Amino acid sequence: MKISKAQAQENRQRVVEVASELFRARGFDEVPVGDLMKAAGFTHGGFYNHFASKQDLAAEALENAWAQMAAERARADGVAGLLPHYLSRAARNAPGKSCPAAALAGDIGRQPDALRGVFAEGLEGMIASVEAGLEGEGPARRALAVALVARMVGALMLSRAVPDDHPLANEMLDANLRAALAEVVGGDDAGA
């Protein structure tokens, strides 16, 4: 049975969205094509109707993840509004739906350069959007944005690395949220 071009595009987008979530939750190498297609509601055989390779899908799925996070950042009430959402227990507990930097930073270094390039472009976009939300100008503002993104990503990654019930899981988020807010809005008690 032949499907329309519109339906084929919808199916492809469904696979990209499912892959975006699964890759963030489990890593690129831990998601076999068959599992991915099954999760999207399709058969394994249909994969190559849409993608030349798993790497092609991975690049598109990573771009999709970065686009989702850019939309989240755009909805936030500035950097000070973004930080409590990013450094939250909800984000820690949902790697498949949260930032690709925190979900995939440990995995991306083992991937081909083309995929690492997509990651770098997305990370640069994240840094640029944080920078745009900061006061000041020039190299100091850029340096602060880079430092804040590194703090955010690192804290979320480390919080996920320890058992959920370990005190460090929450301490990583809370301490870094307070420090990041202090950097952004000033003062030692910046609302956290």
Confidence bin at 46 (pLDDT 50/70/90):
confident
Domain ranges of the chain: 5-185
| 138-150: average pLDDT | 96
Q: What is the per-residue pLDDT for 83?
A: 97
**CATH superfamily of the 5-185 domain:** Tetracycline Repressor, domain 2 (1.10.357.10)
d(Cα 74, Cα 133) in Å, to the nearest integer?
Answer: 10
Whether the predicted pLDDT of 189 surpasses 70: no
CA atoms 99, 100, 102, 103: torsion sign:
positive
Q: Give me the chain's average pLDDT, please.
A: 93
Average of per-residue pLDDT across 4-28: 94
Can you give the pLDDT at residue 1?
63
Q: In the 3-class helix/strand/coil scheme, how is 40-106 assigned residue by residue?
A: HCCCHHHHHHHCCCHHHHHHHHHHHHHHHHHHHHHHCCHHHHHHHHHCCHHHHCCHHHCCHHHHHHH
Task: Please report, for residues 13, 77, 188, the alpha-carbon distance to residue 9 in angstroms, rounded to integers and kept in the order given.
Answer: 6, 34, 51
Region 102-129 average pLDDT:
97
CA-wise closest residue to 17 among 73, 67, 82: 67
pLDDT at 190: 47
pLDDT band at residue 64 using 50, 70 and 90 as cut-offs:
very high
